[in-house]
Structure 1
Amino acid sequence: MSVLKTLARIRPAFLQRAINRMARGAGVRADFQEQLDQFYNLLIQAVETGYPTWLDSVLYNWAASLTQSDLQEGQMNVFAVLDHMLILTYEIAREDLEEKEALDLLGAVLPIFTYALDKAARFEMETRVTYISNELADIQQVLERLDRNKSNFIAMAAHELKTPLTLIEGYSAMIRDMEKKDGNGQIDSLLDGVSNGVQRLRSIVNDMIDVSLIDTNLLSLNFQPLWLNQVFGQLKYEINDSLASRNQSLNIRAFSGSNEMIFADSERLYQAFRNILANAIKYTPDGGSITVDGRILPGFIEITITDTGIGISPEYQAVIFDKFGQLGDTSLHSSGKTKFKGGGPGLGLPIARGILEAHGGTIWVESKGHDEKRCPGSTFHVLLPIRTEPPDPNIARLFGFEVNQKED
């Protein structure tokens, strides 16, 4: 008896056993029987022609019809069905056929099932990859929307806070003027407290505005000549009181490139380095030291700011440059910009990164880890492009640079 006749003879038993084992419920069985009939017809075609590709269409349809729960569970359902069919074919051949019939049947269908199993695995994997890619795309859209909402909130909150801040400052100044005329010095300390609070709040509002400008690529730079040694000299003078209050030392080395004129936005660059130094002061224990050094690289000046602080764990070395990237329990932080582990909104380093990237530079940190006893320290690396003339041709002319105009 030929293999085709054998397949025709065992067909009823094969279909019935397959339905009983793999389908539950009358509705499911009816639908599954129709699919099994289609599969069995194509199996016969594949055996008759010797081309297992006859099964491709049904395998593809099965893989494409996987439900969301099937895809979420990650099980190879079509592969499992084919595996059950192969085992069932082997059982029927062993129980219902003569030895020669069984060997002929298995010899004919095994290569086809092998092909089908491989093809089903590929189809299922492609379907699952498509599903996961779509899920990731949806998640990415949600995250982008949340980030936009956060940026919009920052911009709105900063704008709304500016008006009451201005009112508080104005009325405080009026009260101080009235107090001077009356000669009553009792409220001086109260007004000083209000003034300090307003200054701190205005600093936060300004940071929020800067973050909003960076997020929306609206941060404008005014390129002017500057010398890094002068920038750091001014910074040292500004933060000298903070260093003294913490008994810390700041060593600014005369590194290569620090006394060369470059073009950059001096105000913004000053702000970026001030934020980095403030971070170093904050996370360095009393009595520690901070060192500014650097070197010239091809096309860049590398500036390093090294502290003897508590360090940063590797998993957080990228997080600190994200907006509101607070580390640790914020309820344990003290307030202030330079107090040891003092709290804050977590905007200083993100703003520094935004300013440096707007200049065409970058920033990263290296640290052996976080340890408040041994204090392994951290080193912030800044790459700043060496600009020998301003990028704006109009400003370049003001400084006497010749600008070549391209012909249209």
Structure 2
Amino acid sequence: MKSIYRTTPESKETIEALWKLAKVILDTLDFKDVVTKIVESLLSELNYLKLGYRIIVLVLKDEDDNVLKRVSLSKTSEAEKLLEATTIPFPKMDVPLTALDNLIVKAFNDQKPYYTNNWPDILTPPFSKEESFSYQKLVEVKTSMVYPVIVKGRALGVLIFSLVKTIDDVSQEEKDLIGGFTDIVGLAVQNAQLYTALEDSSKKLENLNKKLRELDIQKDEFVSMAAHELRSPMTAIKGYLSMVLEGDMGDIPDKARGFLADANAINERLIRLVNNMLNVSRIEEGRLVYQLEKINLTRIARTVFDTFRAEADRKGLQISIEIPEKISDEIYVDPDKINEVIANLVSNAVKYTDHGFVKIILSNPLPDWVRVEVADSGPGISKEEQKRLFRKFYRIESTSGKTIGTGLGLYICKLLIEKFNGTIGLDSGDGTGSTFWFELPLARAKERLPESS
């Protein structure tokens, strides 16, 4: 007599069924959804309950513990009855890979299916043989089929199909479909694991970035606080040193005067550092107050030129300024801040150039723009260093191999020029000198904006 649970081979129907299962399982990348659909889809989509399939279990290898771990179970009345009876919770029904007699381990290692009508073959360990037989009798399972889940020649785990019919009643059509089904499962599990790993990495990276941002804020707060605390005593030191050097405290020996002058110069440098740190903090937080007005850039450039002429002469450098007679240079900026930018560029040029020249050049590259260039015949800057030069706290070595400055000057220049809607950059190379430049829109261009908007 033919079993009520038996099918007849229908290859076309098998292909269609597999296609249907693939669409259901591969529709999501969430690992929990995937493993749930794997054990449910065969029963719900193809109604294999009618063919005697009662319990489907997905087992995957746990790389950390070197065990095969049951991760999902079909939601049938038999499965619920089994879970109520077992003495070990489902997530902890692990099978050690050292249990070589267990068919789950055999199917995983040999990468081929195994069939059994005795549950101790798949439940021992973790359960005893007596317990395994009692659970099998409870749910009236006659046969269990264990199929490996394989991707690219590597076993990921196994699928266990427990049926209320004998293996003789399982048609070749069913075996073909289950074989194809496990291939789909392999792809789905691999994709979900990769996606989950990527999500986990993204979350970890996001958390790390959050911590870095918090640390950056804390660092900025500390720098700002430290700068405030340092400025008052250093200003007082500057005053006392000036009084001593100017003779307010009486005559001092020449040798002592030299030491005091050095101390005063160092203190001045520290004050500049503190002011730079405070400026950076204020600019980044939007707290810096700008006194915007129309100015002629030529006047600022000449003032800076006169300031550094004596220092350049002391180093034997030829310093010059080139301004076309009919240049358009009226801009709308904070004059003190633009003075600071040009002074910083000229100071660097004089500092890093041992011989040759320093030039300040003004021009109109476009009708509504003015350009300032500070060119020198110094050692030049490599392309690699140029990429990092305008970053906060980045410093380059001088020709003597020493690192000079605070690494804040050019960063502040960049922030200020961009605040005034300009651009800043440099042209340089090893041994070719450097030309730092910035361009700003003319005041007349800004005045035309409301008319064109």
Q: How does the TM-score come out when normalised to structure 1?
A: 0.64
Contact 2:317–2:355 (Cα < 8 Å) also in 1: yes
2:415 matched to 1:354? yes
Higher helix share: 1
Contact 1:211–1:351 (Cα < 8 Å) also in 2: yes
- State the match for 2:329 in structure 1: 260
Q: Distance in 1 between the 2:194 and 2:110 partners? A: 21
Q: Distance in 2 between the 1:66 and 1:308 partners? A: 65
**Equivalent residues in 2 for 1:41-56, closer than 5 Å:** 42-43=41-42
Query: Considering only CA atoms, is the larger Rg found in Structure 1 or Structure 2?
Result: 2
Contact 1:289–1:308 (Cα < 8 Å) also in 2: yes
Match of 2:273 among 201, 204, 218: 204
2:118 matched to 1:88? no
Contact 2:35–2:189 (Cα < 8 Å) also in 1: no
- State the match for 2:121 in structure 1: none
Displacement after TM superposition at 1:261 (Å) = 1.4
Q: Distance in 2 between the 1:221 and 1:109 partners? A: 74
Report the AA paired with residue 148 of structure 1: I
Contact 1:247–1:286 (Cα < 8 Å) also in 2: yes
Cα deviation 1:371-405 (Å, max 9, x = unaligned): 3xxx03334342323234999xxxxxxxxx9x99x
Cα deviation 1:265-319 (Å, max 9, x = unaligned): 1110110121122223333342254453543447543444343333333333242
- State the match for 1:314 in structure 2: 383
Report the AA paired with residue 340 of structure 2: Q
Contact 1:229–1:259 (Cα < 8 Å) also in 2: no
SS in 2 for 1:343: coil
- State the match for 2:441 in structure 1: 385
Q: Distance in 2 between the 1:37 and 1:350 partners? A: 54
2:347 matched to 1:278? yes
**Equivalent residues in 2 for 1:335-374, closer than 5 Å:** 343-368=404-429, 371=430
Cα deviation 1:218-261 (Å, max 9, x = unaligned): 12211122222222222211111232233333453336985431
- State the match for 1:128 in structure 2: 197
Contact 1:301–1:384 (Cα < 8 Å) also in 2: yes
2:255 matched to 1:195? no
- State the match for 2:120 in structure 1: none
Contact 2:244–2:250 (Cα < 8 Å) also in 1: no
Displacement after TM superposition at 1:139 (Å) = 1.6
Q: Distance in 2 between the 1:319 and 1:298 partners? A: 31
Q: Distance in 2 between the 1:142 and 1:228 partners? A: 43
Report the AA paired with residue 172 of structure 1: L
SS in 2 for 1:360: coil
Tell me: CA distance 1:293–1:5, structure 2 relative to 1, closer, same or farther (3 Å): farther
- State the match for 1:137 in structure 2: 206
**Equivalent residues in 2 for 1:80-229, closer than 5 Å:** 87-89=111-113, 104=173, 107-109=176-178, 111-176=180-245, 179=247, 182=250, 186=254, 187-229=256-298
Q: How does the TM-score come out when normalised to structure 2?
A: 0.58
Higher strand share: 2
Cα deviation 1:333-386 (Å, max 9, x = unaligned): 1xxxxxxxx612111111111211221223233444xx3xxx033343423232
Contact 2:329–2:442 (Cα < 8 Å) also in 1: no
Displacement after TM superposition at 1:48 (Å) = 5.3
Q: Distance in 1 between the 2:114 and 2:436 partners? A: 67
Q: Distance in 2 between the 1:150 and 1:330 partners? A: 31
Q: Distance in 1 between the 2:399 and 2:382 partners? A: 17
Q: Distance in 1 between the 2:245 and 2:335 partners? A: 34
Q: Distance in 1 between the 2:108 and 2:384 partners? A: 46
Tell me: CA distance 1:299–1:115, structure 2 relative to 1, closer, same or farther (3 Å): farther
Contact 2:398–2:404 (Cα < 8 Å) also in 1: no
SS in 1 for 2:416: helix
How high is the sequence identity, in percent, across the aligned residues? 25
Contact 1:256–1:295 (Cα < 8 Å) also in 2: no
Q: Distance in 1 between the 2:314 and 2:303 partners? A: 18
Q: Distance in 1 between the 2:389 and 2:338 partners? A: 19
Report the AA paired with residue 130 of structure 1: E
Q: Distance in 2 between the 1:224 and 1:304 partners? A: 22
SS in 1 for 2:273: helix
Q: Distance in 2 between the 1:264 and 1:172 partners? A: 35
Q: Distance in 2 between the 1:169 and 1:326 partners? A: 26
Contact 1:93–1:105 (Cα < 8 Å) also in 2: no
Displacement after TM superposition at 1:185 (Å) = 5.5
Match of 1:376 among 432, 435, 440: 432
Query: Which shows bigger deviation, 284-293 or 142-151?
Result: 284-293
Displacement after TM superposition at 1:182 (Å) = 4.8
Q: Distance in 2 between the 1:201 and 1:37 partners? A: 65
Q: Distance in 1 between the 2:180 and 2:212 partners? A: 48
Displacement after TM superposition at 1:210 (Å) = 1.2
Q: Distance in 2 between the 1:308 and 1:383 partners? A: 22
SS in 2 for 1:319: coil
Tell me: CA distance 1:158–1:86, structure 2 relative to 1, closer, same or farther (3 Å): same
Displacement after TM superposition at 1:93 (Å) = 11
Q: Distance in 2 between the 1:283 and 1:5 partners? A: 90
Contact 1:305–1:381 (Cα < 8 Å) also in 2: yes
Q: Distance in 2 between the 1:245 and 1:119 partners? A: 75
Cα deviation 1:120-178 (Å, max 9, x = unaligned): 3443343233222212221211221222122112212211112222332333344456x
SS in 2 for 1:321: coil
- State the match for 2:152 in structure 1: none
Tell me: CA distance 1:124–1:311, structure 2 relative to 1, closer, same or farther (3 Å): farther
Tell me: CA distance 1:247–1:36, structure 2 relative to 1, closer, same or farther (3 Å): closer
Report the AA paired with residue 133 of structure 1: S
Contact 1:176–1:188 (Cα < 8 Å) also in 2: yes
